[in-house]
Amino acid sequence: MWAAIILVTALVALARFAVWYWRALIATVAAQPVSDRLRSLIPLDAGPARSGDFDLACAFYQLCPAVESNPAVSSRIHGRLTTVRLYFRILARLRALGGYILPALSSWADREMETCSRYAAVLVDQRLSSNLEVIARVHSY
């Protein structure tokens, strides 16, 4: 019986650590600067997060092809964007529910959604920069 309690406690602690670590990775990427050319397309600093900003960043990410020498990196980053998209949808539902029940939950969800939008914008910006570098290398030959 004690072994089961210790196992469950350890698994819960491990799951909490994994979620906090994942959120820290998202926040680290989202804290990187975004170029002015992308900032003119996606209004990231225009107040609270809007679902359209995140959807717009995801649409730009899908439209911009990955011209990389290592496709494994591109697929790994695409998988992260998929999980962030799911997290964003969950946050949008929490914000809708939290507005009526807990206003603090709604404001926390807004901040997290803003981080998700910045994360997607940074990924788009990184992909654009990478593609421009590849194009410059091709033209230099």
Reported in sequence order, the residue ranges of 76-138 that DSSP labels E, i.e. its strands, are none
Mean per-residue pLDDT of the chain: 84
Q: Is the pLDDT of residue 45 over 70?
A: no
The answer to whether 107 and 95 have CB atoms below 8 angstroms apart is: no
Q: What is residue 12's predicted lDDT score, i.e. its pLDDT?
A: 96
The pTM score is 0.81
- How many structural domains is the chain composed of? 1
Each residue's pLDDT tens digit, 73-116: 555 555 678 899 999 999 999 888 877 788 888 888 888 999 99
The answer to whether 49 and 113 have CB atoms below 8 angstroms apart is: yes
Each residue's pLDDT tens digit, 2-14: 999 999 999 999 9
Tell which wins on pLDDT, 75 or 33. Answer: 33
Q: How far is CA 135 from the centre of its chain?
A: 26
**Continuous segment of H or E residues that includes residue 64:** none
* Residue 51 structural domain: 2-140
